[in-house]
Structure 1
Amino acid sequence: MKVHENNALGELASAVGKGLLAGLAGTVAITVSQMIEMKITGRGPSEAPVKVASEILGAAPANEGEKEKLGNEVHFAYGTSWGAVRGLLGLAGLKGIPATLVHFGAIWATELIMLPKYDAAPPVDEQEPKSLAIDALHHAVYAVATGLVYDALDSGSARQKKLTKLNKLIKGLKFKGY
């Protein structure tokens, strides 16, 4: 079986698949981060995932057990799906710290806009700086974990090897004075 070098659909599927796996790992990381923080601060679990899901889907959980289950399901589905975005950033050639910063910015900005829209959180200008800082920290944990896993999964890809060769060529040109 001959492998096609320039299979755009295959590269897209690969990047999204790696991104989803990385997003799952990032979701586990943010979950652990939140559990540690809740233990330290005494804060209870956020009801934001349930509020947004109930608003979008038009169905509310029947009891507290169902509420917690739905919250966890939404949390993991949302975090895992954001990993696909990290995959698309990688496919576009963005990797490492720059990709992690863009990913973090997209995720956190979306939350800061979306949650107030669905009355799941106050607008950013009405939130306490401490709670914003904690929230930013959790999302940074997610973005860093997702980025590290994605970059590790993508490190041996043909596209990554081409980017490495291109970077070496560019550095060589700069060294020669071009």
Structure 2
Amino acid sequence: MSLTKGLVAGAAGTVALNLTTYGDMLLRGRGPSDVPTRVADRFVDRAGIGLGDEETGPHREEAVGALLGYVTGLGVGAAYGLLRRRRGALPDWVAGPLLGAAAMVSSDLPATVLGVTDPTSWDRTSWVSDLVPHLVYGFATASVYEALR
């Protein structure tokens, strides 16, 4: 049951992250990040997986990138559910930032290792654009998990 609650909470957190990201894009008029697509490209290339020809391949890479984001959100939520069962409750003001950081590391670390991005070169705006949606994810995930108890 804790795993299911974690998955549901992670799904809610992922929706909250996406709403925050798309809201930011709307407010600032900025384009979407190409990092998820580039991570997918590097990942499937290193794994020796072909995603199609020049016409369909880029669309599939974009889909893989988006799906990896969902896997991350659901995975962090599921892990939280399992940890909560063993370790007990944390207040939302603690769990939220920890979950946000876990989701951020889970998405940014592979991108960094694959050479897609370098967080040490990000400016303040880039950090805020990455940090805020992940914090929203964390608080939403923690709050929904708590509500399901």
Q: Does 1:103 align with 2:88?
A: no
- Alignment check: 8 A CA contact 1:51 1:120 kept: yes
The equivalent residue for 1:88 is 82
Structure 1 residues 63-100: Cα deviation after superposition (integer angstroms, max 9, x where no partner)? 44334333322222221121112213321103332222
Paired amino acid for 2:23: I
The equivalent residue for 2:10 is 23
The structure showing larger relative contact order (alpha-carbon pairs under 8 Å, at least 6 residues apart) is: 2
User: Could you tell me how far apart the structure 2 residues matched to 1:105 and 1:48 are?
Assistant: 18
User: Could you tell me how far apart the structure 2 residues matched to 1:128 and 1:60 are?
Assistant: 34
The offset of 1:20, in angstroms, is: 0.7
Aligned length: 140
In structure 2, runs of 5+ residues without a counterpart are none
The equivalent residue for 1:77 is 71
Task: Tell me the percent identity.
Answer: 29
Q: Does 1:119 align with 2:106?
A: no
TM-score w.r.t. length of structure 1: 0.69
1:32 to 1:100, Cα distance in 2 relative to 1, 3 A: same
In structure 1, runs of 5+ residues without a counterpart are 1-13, 156-178
1:89 to 1:99, Cα distance in 2 relative to 1, 3 A: farther
